[in-house]
Structure 1
Amino acid sequence: MRAIWKGAVSFGLVNVPVKLYSATESHDVSFRQVHAEDGGRIRYQRVCAIDGEEVPYADIAKGYETEDGEMVILTDDDMAQLPSTSSREIAVEKFVPSDQIDPMLFEKSYYLEPEKSGAKPYALLRQALLDADRMAVVTVALRQRTTIAVLRVRDDVIVLQTMMWPDEIRTPDFSIEPGEVKDTEVKMATMLVETLAGDFDPSEFEDDYAAAVETMVKTKIEGGEMKRTPTSTKSSGEVVDLLAALQRSVDAAKSGRRGNEESEESKDESSGTESKKTSAAKATKKAPAKKSAAKKAAAKKSTAKKSTAKKTAAKKAS
């Protein structure tokens, strides 16, 4: 693992130099959006909703939309005036009972590793949390924003878990009507709970969906059901180059068509001459298809000459 943050945990006059590591990673199956016909990746462009033009990154700003739909543009200078911090301190505010923290508040988890000089105070804080069965509520600056978090112990390692702000937890806007529950129904439900009671072991659960996707993909690969897509080239923001490439393609197509037409005309003009040639002349090599205008004129004049002249011309052409 690679440390994403370095700082120190401070409680009272004690500082614990630590490194921060991401404690979780997502193994969710992700798919690409592709063209079903050839497997090509689908690209998206940054297009302005007003003028329909593609917008380069340099011209993109942050906008805050008000409740009535108005848009307030925030410049880099505006963003620089907002409160931010680059503090490297995890400040312990208070120690609270573990059952007072609603799990809904937890957001992301990080491992804390002590620096060599902080190994002893790290062990001291870890043992104090275990003995008191409490969590440490802390404030910490991550990505230049101060957030609240808790410190707790998991498998002898102190874990920092960032928390959502209280106003980010939504209140349900529906009510549940209490129904009449009979005593026999409560007893039956209690029996069901006791039947399924047990200790939580995360290793007993697995992601069947991800495993099924991997199996399906492997089967398709073994069966040769794949799209060998060529390496794509950039197209966005290169309209001029694209038009030039299209123009070159059109010119090449026209040139090829013109060459074919000239070749057909040459064949038609020489068909009469070919019918009058002797078998000895047919055995000789044919002249190249692309003749100069002078050679074509000479070929036409040679048809009016006597047979002896024809044989001489044929020998020269060979």
Structure 2
Amino acid sequence: MAARSTASASISFGLVSIPVKMYTTVSSHHIGFHMLHKKCGTRVKQQLICPYDKEVVERSQTMRGYEYGKERYVEITDEDLDAVRLERTDRIDILEFVPEETVDLLYLDRTHFLGPDKGAGRAYKLLADAMERNGRIAVGRFGVRGQDQLVLLRPYKGGLIMHQMHYADEVRSIDDIPQPGKVEFKKAEQDLADQLVDQLSTDAFQPEKYHDEYEERLTAAIEKKVAGEEITAPPERPEAQVIDLFEALKRSLGAKPTPGDQEEPPTQQILQAEGTEEEEAPAPSTKRRPAVKKATHRTTHRKPREKKSA
């Protein structure tokens, strides 16, 4: 079945404009559940509750607020948001072309296929082929929902795909993650690790080999429940043990230690957290009404400039 486009846009750089259509690259198939009332089996509904007034609040009685301090809010109106939104353009502005190998995959977010719109096939193919020949990908901005979205255009199997990207200040540094200090390994340990990697290596990634085994088990369990059958629990996994990394590598490779091998000191341990005493729960504090700064003025909404006819 042919894919349906989710949106229209145009790739723009210099004096060139290429109309394109956007298509999703994935189709989620996760199993979802509903919350039911145990007493009667009816699906329950969520309500908004005010903890101060102890009453149910309708959507029409709510307002948007930004917390700038502990339980201190300022009201943000639709007019305030409209004042900072960009004019909707549906245009993908290419800012620069960069070598593909210089882009860290850590910055990539969601992905869309880009296909040519009517009459744009030639220009679309010309751009995709030029990027492929030169080993370049395009960095650009896409005005979506009044916001600037950083995007990456990449040639893919004769066409183009668009990656939405995170900004640099949104991506954490690995330096923030605790790392082991300087570790020295013996030549035998390094050789065993290399052998293990080599043993599990293949020529290329084949995604069709992998499937969601949890979802398959869950689907089978649901079908059994619907049919009135019992679901048996799987056997428990053995508890983690303190192991020697050198011996674990040998076992992974199927190699048995020889009598001449001397026992090495443990280089890696799987530690199990021991129980700790529960901290004394703090005394409940008296709930007070949060402070909210109401909007005292209306931001003048700027009308978008009318486009001049060609």
Q: Which residue is equivalent to 1:183? A: 187
CA contact (8 A) 1:7 1:90 kept: yes
Q: TM-score, normalised by structure 1?
A: 0.66
Q: Which residue is equivalent to 1:152? A: 154
Shifted more, 205-214 versus 184-193: the winner is 184-193
SS in 2 for 1:194: helix
1:157 shift after superposition:
2.5
Q: Please tell me the residue identity of whatever aligns with 1:153.
A: P
Instruction: Please tell me whether residue 213 in structure 1 is matched to residue 252 in structure 2.
Output: no
Q: Which residue is equivalent to 2:97? A: 95
Deviation per residue, 1:176-196 (Å, 9 max, x gap): 222222222112111111111
CA contact (8 A) 1:85 1:146 kept: no
Q: Which residue is equivalent to 2:201? A: 197
Deviation per residue, 1:88-117 (Å, 9 max, x gap): 211111111112211121111111111121
- State the alpha-carbon separation in 2 of the partners of residues 175 and 201 from structure 1: 31
- Select which of 133, 136, 139 maps to 2:138: 136
1:167 shift after superposition:
0.9
Shifted more, 61-70 versus 98-107: the winner is 61-70
- State the alpha-carbon separation in 1 of the partners of residues 181 and 44 from structure 2: 48
Q: Which residue is equivalent to 2:42? A: 40
After superposition, residues 1-318 of structure 1 pair within 5 angstroms as: 1-171=3-173, 172-198=176-202, 199-223=204-228
Which has the bigger relative contact order, CA under 8 A and spacing at least 6?
2
Q: Please tell me the residue identity of whatever aligns with 1:186.
A: Q
1:3 shift after superposition:
2.2
1:80 shift after superposition:
1.8
Structure 1's 158 and 125: CA in aligned 2 closer, same or farther, altered over 3 A? same
Q: Which residue is equivalent to 1:243? A: none
- State the alpha-carbon separation in 1 of the partners of residues 82 and 108 from structure 2: 29
CA contact (8 A) 2:125 2:159 kept: no
Structure 1's 56 and 37: CA in aligned 2 closer, same or farther, altered over 3 A? closer
Structure 1's 178 and 28: CA in aligned 2 closer, same or farther, altered over 3 A? farther
CA contact (8 A) 1:8 1:90 kept: yes
1:173 shift after superposition:
4.3
Pairwise CA RMSD: 1.8
Q: Please tell me the residue identity of whatever aligns with 2:228.
A: G
Q: TM-score, normalised by structure 2?
A: 0.68
1:83 shift after superposition:
3.0
Q: Which runs of 5+ in 1 are unaligned?
A: 226-318
Structure 1's 141 and 51: CA in aligned 2 closer, same or farther, altered over 3 A? same
- State the alpha-carbon separation in 2 of the partners of residues 18 and 96 from structure 1: 22
Deviation per residue, 1:218-275 (Å, 9 max, x gap): 12222389xxxxxxxxxxxxxxxxxxxxxxxxxxxxxxxxxxxxxxxxxxxxxxxxxx
What is the number of equivalent residue pairs in this alignment? 225
- State the alpha-carbon separation in 2 of the partners of residues 67 and 164 from structure 1: 27
- State the alpha-carbon separation in 1 of the partners of residues 23 and 63 from structure 2: 32
CA contact (8 A) 1:85 1:144 kept: yes
Q: Please tell me the residue identity of whatever aligns with 1:98.
A: E
Give the fraction of aligned pairs with identical amino acids, expressed as a percent. 28
Q: Please tell me the residue identity of whatever aligns with 1:47.
A: I
1:4 shift after superposition:
2.3
1:84 shift after superposition:
2.4
- State the alpha-carbon separation in 2 of the partners of residues 71 and 157 from structure 1: 48
